[in-house]
Amino acid sequence: MSRSDRPTALPAGRTAAALDAVDRAMLDVLADDARISVRALAERLSISRANAYSRLDRLLRDGVVTGFAARIDPQRAGLGTSAYVLVTVEQTAWRALKDALGAIPHVEHIALVGGDVDVLLLVRTPDNATLRDVVLGRIQAVDGVRATRTWLVFDEFPGAGSPLS
């Protein structure tokens, strides 16, 4: 990543970039249709194309928009079995664990969480046998993993802006 591609530093004490109403509206439109042209985006927001280009460039540069992706239906993509896997880890192992867990096929999302467990994984597999292999054979084999609990997902109801909509 070049220096110009890195997100700009935030002022001391801020955890997020300052966004105005137009920025938020732009994010809503992009979440709904990331393939929209800048011209159409400008028209939807009632701003000039130059303003739309400038704002989009700033949102990308600041790391607010991190990329553009297709929304995939996991069932139709052959990933009909989903589970949340709660992982308890050795506290000093998090940095190495993050890379090892991220390299496991079918692990879609990794979150470091507070509470009774340390890591929450979203795993999507074609079937229960593959899920078993991922959890028992791959996740539990990672150095630093102390225990796992698996919560099978029966159905999902995506919220606004979800990649599952």
pLDDT digits (tens, 9 = 90+) for 6-23: 445 555 555 666 899 999
**Quick check: 84 and 121 in contact, CB under 8 A?**
yes
- Amino acid (one-letter) located at 146: R
Residue 1 has a pLDDT of 40
Q: Which residue has the higher pLDDT, 92 or 89?
A: 89
CB 88 within 8 Å of CB 120: no
Question: Is 81-153 a domain of CATH 3.30.70.920?
Answer: yes
Cα 37 → chain centroid: 23
- Rounded Cα distance, 34 and 68, in Å: 6
Q: Cite the residue boundaries of each domain of the chain with CATH code 1.10.10.10.
A: 3-61
- For the chain, give the mean pLDDT: 88
Q: Are 59 and 27 in contact (CB under 8 A)?
A: yes
**Residue 17: CB partners within 8 Å, gap ≥ 6?**
10, 59, 62, 63, 64
- pLDDT-derived band of residue 158, with 50, 70 and 90 as boundaries? confident
Helix (H, G, I), strand (E, B) or coil at 62: coil
**5-34 CB burial, b ≥16 within 10 A, e <16:** eeeeeeeeeeeebebeeebebbbebbeeee
Structure tokens belonging to residue 135: 């959890």
Q: Options 1.10.10.10, 3.30.450.150, 2.40.50.100, 1.10.3720.10; which CATH number does 3-61 get?
A: 1.10.10.10
How does pLDDT run across 34-65, given as a tens digit for each residue?
999 999 999 999 999 999 999 999 999 999 99
Average pLDDT over residues 131-160: 92
Q: Report the C-alpha gap between 93 and 68 in whole angstroms.
A: 32
Residues of the chain with CATH 3.30.70.920: 81-153
Strands of the sheet containing 145-153, edge to edge, are 107-112, 119-125, 81-89, 145-153
Tell me what the mean pLDDT of segment 89-111 comes to: 91
Which of 28, 1, 4, 31 has the alpha carbon at shortest distance from 165?
Answer: 31
Single-letter residue type at 71? R
